[in-house]
Structure 1
């Protein structure tokens, strides 16, 4: 797969929106769940093509929903603080380059423990990791 600057930028922005409060370990885990979607071999019409396609697929990562409070930062309407974005870029690059191992055990899904109820899909999935405020899953029905 050929990566471009958009893939790296969109993955880093997704990490800012989904996991900036989870530290580097949490950002790496979220990035790996995205990488696992990129490389899982499923029909790309479902996940999207490449990192940008997976991150921007409708309703897959809530930070990209137009009504999400993170969206103005991700879309460029508001500036992401440079230091925070640099950390997101480092985590994104480390996962894309395979510098850090997958702590999620092959997860393709996660949800935040701050949600009032687990999503329906979690009932039939295999939990692989709980890290910070995220729970990760694979084998999602």
Structure 2
């Protein structure tokens, strides 16, 4: 599976039912994680574990999607895993949108409306790590943070 396809499936499972702007923002977050992983060993270990410094851009993008605990859809027992499996089986309009967004992100031409965010959550939940943090953006029901 190619890196843009892994990104598209991640976007579909995590935000496919949200507005296109939210899907684009989530794709930008993945790009931000991969870019940080490309230049910083600590970020590599956190956002693209198993990768190596100097690894190719597509590989880092795929690793940023599949890193443990960063996107629930890739965890076997997570509730969003069903959405990922459904996205793999279905060829729907939402997946087509996510593929177009993923292609732009992989090509490096997707603008970043999150101001460099590396963390996110749905607006309807407030995870413990977000308490006291100031969001960098709120887009389409998703809240984004640029954490150090």
Residue 120 of structure 1 deviates from its aligned partner by 2.5
Residue 47 of structure 1 deviates from its aligned partner by 1.0
Aligned counterpart for 1:31 among listed residues 8, 27, 30? 27
The answer (yes or no) to whether the contact 2:117–2:146 under 8 Å persists in 1 is yes
Task: Describe how 1:84-99 pairs up with structure 2 within 5 A.
Answer: 84-99=94-109
The answer (yes or no) to whether the contact 1:73–1:80 under 8 Å persists in 2 is no
The answer (yes or no) to whether the contact 2:13–2:87 under 8 Å persists in 1 is no
Residue 98 of structure 1 deviates from its aligned partner by 2.7
Q: Secondary structure at the match of 1:91?
A: helix
Q: Deviations over 1:16-40 (max 9, x none)?
A: 0111111211111000001000001
The answer (yes or no) to whether the contact 1:128–1:138 under 8 Å persists in 2 is yes
Aligned counterpart for 1:114 among listed residues 120, 124, 129? 124
- Counterparts of 1:85 and 1:122 in 2: how far apart (Å)? 29
Task: Tell me the matched-pair count.
Answer: 134
- Counterparts of 1:83 and 1:11 in 2: how far apart (Å)? 16
In structure 1, the partner of 2:72 is: 62
Structure 2 segments unaligned to the other structure (5+ residues):
52-59
Q: CA RMSD in A?
A: 2.1
Which of 1 and 2 has higher RCO (CA within 8 Å, sep 6+)?
2
Q: TM-score, normalised by structure 2?
A: 0.79
- Counterparts of 1:100 and 1:54 in 2: how far apart (Å)? 16
Larger deviation, residues 11-20 vs 72-81: 72-81
In structure 2, the partner of 1:139 is: 147
The answer (yes or no) to whether the contact 2:87–2:95 under 8 Å persists in 1 is no
In structure 1, the partner of 2:3 is: 7
